[in-house]
Amino acid sequence: MTREDRSHEIGDYVRYLDRLVDTLLPQVEGERGSVTPAPKLTVLGFSQGVATAARWTVLGRTRPSRLVLWGDFLPPDLDLAEASRAWERTDVVLVRGDRDGLFADPGLERGESRRRGEAGLRARVLAYEGGHEIDPGVLARLAEVE
């Protein structure tokens, strides 16, 4: 993403991801009239993908059942009051490795926690033993939780 055309590029990827869901979701929902329950959508953003996943699920039309934001902080430009409204029915999970250097400064985590609290944003934090990677065991635990 370029600094010069940032807001336009964010708008582009938000629209693209919404269209992608519009295209793919009907393929997994089954035929109309089926007794199959609608699929629950989980969005997972890892590292720099946290910002994309967070912005998309706030600025776009897609409202997932669960939003997993793994290995980074919420983007500072995200309106957390707006996020709180958009994620009202979303299970928001912030995943943090205890050896991830990004979280070495406790002041940064406290600052983000304060911002989330002030905005009334409900999110649970899942900490695990590990660094800046997707841990297969934690991922499996997340897949089991409904």
* Structural domains of the chain sorted by starting position, each given as residue range(s) with its CATH number in brackets: 6-144 (3.40.50.1820)
CA 121 to chain CA centroid, Å, is: 13
Q: How many residues are given for the chain? A: 146
Q: Does the structure show a pLDDT above 70 at 83?
A: yes
Please provide the distance, in angstroms rounded to a whole number, between the alpha carbons at the two ends of the chain: 34
**pLDDT value for 6:** 82
**pLDDT value for 109:** 82
List the beta bridge partners of residue 26.
Answer: none
Lowest mean pLDDT among 1-5, 7-11, 53-57, 72-76: 1-5
More confident residue, 85 or 29: 85
Distance CA(89)–CA(83), nearest Å, equals 11
Grouping H, G, I as helix, E, B as strand and the rest as coil, residue 20 is helix
pTM, rounded to two decimals: 0.87
Best CA proximity match to 68, nearest among 88, 49, 89: 49
**pLDDT value for 29:** 66
Per-residue pLDDT tens over the stretch 24-64: 888 776 654 554 555 688 999 999 999 999 999 999 999 99
For residues 2-8, give the mean pLDDT.
Answer: 75
Give the pLDDT band (50/70/90) at residue 15. Answer: very high
Distance CA(92)–CA(124), nearest Å, equals 6
Give the pLDDT band (50/70/90) at residue 120. Answer: confident
Q: Does the structure show a pLDDT above 90 at 129?
A: yes
Q: Does the structure show a pLDDT above 60 at 79?
A: yes
